[in-house]
Amino acid sequence: MNTTNVNLIRHIFDFDNTEEKDLLNFQDDLKKVATSFNLNGSIEEKWSFFKNNLLKIKQQHIRSKEIIVNVDRDKTFQHTQLYKDLRYIVYLRRKFKKKLSFEKLALNWKHYNNYLKHLVKRHSIDEVNSTYLLLQHRLSRFLIGQYVKELNEIYDTLFSKFSLEMFNLKNDKIKEAIDKRCADLADNQRRMIDNITENEMKKIFIDRVLIDDEDGNSILVTDENKIKDITKDYFQNAADSKNRTIEDLQEWSDEYEPIRSINELIYNNCLEPITDDEWNIVIKDLPIKKAVGPTGIAYDEIKKALLEFNQLLRNIIDEVLRTQIMPKDWKLANIYLIPKPKP
């Protein structure tokens, strides 16, 4: 299903542009709620406390903004009013030059005339306010040449404005690319190397699926909603559990034998409580500006929270290591299809 031209809006919390006083209030409120954390609660209760309080407090203090995902940046200019008005002038010129089109144009000239007046006012084209084109309520076939000439003047003025806007857009994109490259140098070296080496990212759009019905007949599905349901069902059942024992797989039995050369003592400390140094290193090394998962919690939020509140998360992780029971939220993930195109 091709969604190239669909604008997907996502809300994110912008810590970088949040005022310092709001950040301090964010941290202070987290510190306060940390004192009411129930150490004796279940793992689900502890996780819900951490997640819900973090969400509520960041909504109160952290600035949010909308970002557009999956929009073709090279086509955005086509949706601007300036571009639409340019196309409108081209459309009118074509109407004036064709005999049959001119007759229809003359019948509805009041509508076109009103739009032209608004267009001229919208773009502050004062030099054409007293022309034949705008002042006449009825069109004359003898003045077609004059009408086209005046449309050309409006077009030239609009095109100059449009060219300047495209120049600024190009410069903004260059600056954005440079800033992104610099940021990737620190946080996303893989993407930086892909860009430098011009490693092409090929895309495949799933607009059809071939399935078998109950009788074994192949059916080609092209309906977008059905494709989504089929894809979702496939990944939900792709890793179904299989009721097999080791005795059923004799050819693999040797692979399950313990490796005697590995010192068993190296695993002794793996499940021990997290130390202060380990926790501080992990928090410090968390990447920033990454997409959130189903929990809605970003690494940026954990890094910005005070030690007192992050200790709650540390407590939860320690309990997971000790009991081998984790919150249900941690078992959820977003799946993004990345088909491998043929070379």
As given in the structure block, the two tokens for residue 340 are 């491998």
pLDDT for the residue numbered 181: 81
Q: Is the pLDDT of residue 29 over 70?
A: yes
Q: What is the largest CA-CA distance in the chain?
A: 101
Higher pLDDT, 181 or 32: 32
The tokens describing 181, both together, are: 């490259």
In sign, the C-alpha dihedral spanning 211, 212, 213, 218 is positive
Other Cβ atoms within 10 Å of 309 Cβ, number:
24
Judge whether 293 and 299 are in contact, CB under 8 Å. no
Determine the length of the chain.
343
User: CA nearest 29: which of 3, 63, 60, 4?
Assistant: 60
Average of per-residue pLDDT across 212-238: 83
Contacts of 309 by beta carbon, 8 Å cutoff, 6+ apart: 27, 30, 31, 33, 34, 54
Residues sharing a CB contact under 8 Å with residue 249, sequence separation 6 or more, in sequence order: none
- Residue 143 gets which letter from DSSP? G
SS3 161: helix
Give the pLDDT mean for 127-152: 75
The residues, any chain, with a CB within 8 Å of residue 311's CB and separated by 6 or more, are 34
DSSP state of 294: T
Q: Is the model more confident about 101 or about 312?
A: 312
Retrieve residue 243's tokens. 């009721």
Where does the pLDDT of residue 4 fall: very low under 50, low under 70, confident under 90, or very high at 90 and above?
very low
Residue 28 has pLDDT above 90, yes or no: yes
- Which of 128-142, 178-192, 201-215, 292-306 has the largest mean confidence? 292-306
Residue 131 scores a pLDDT above 90: no
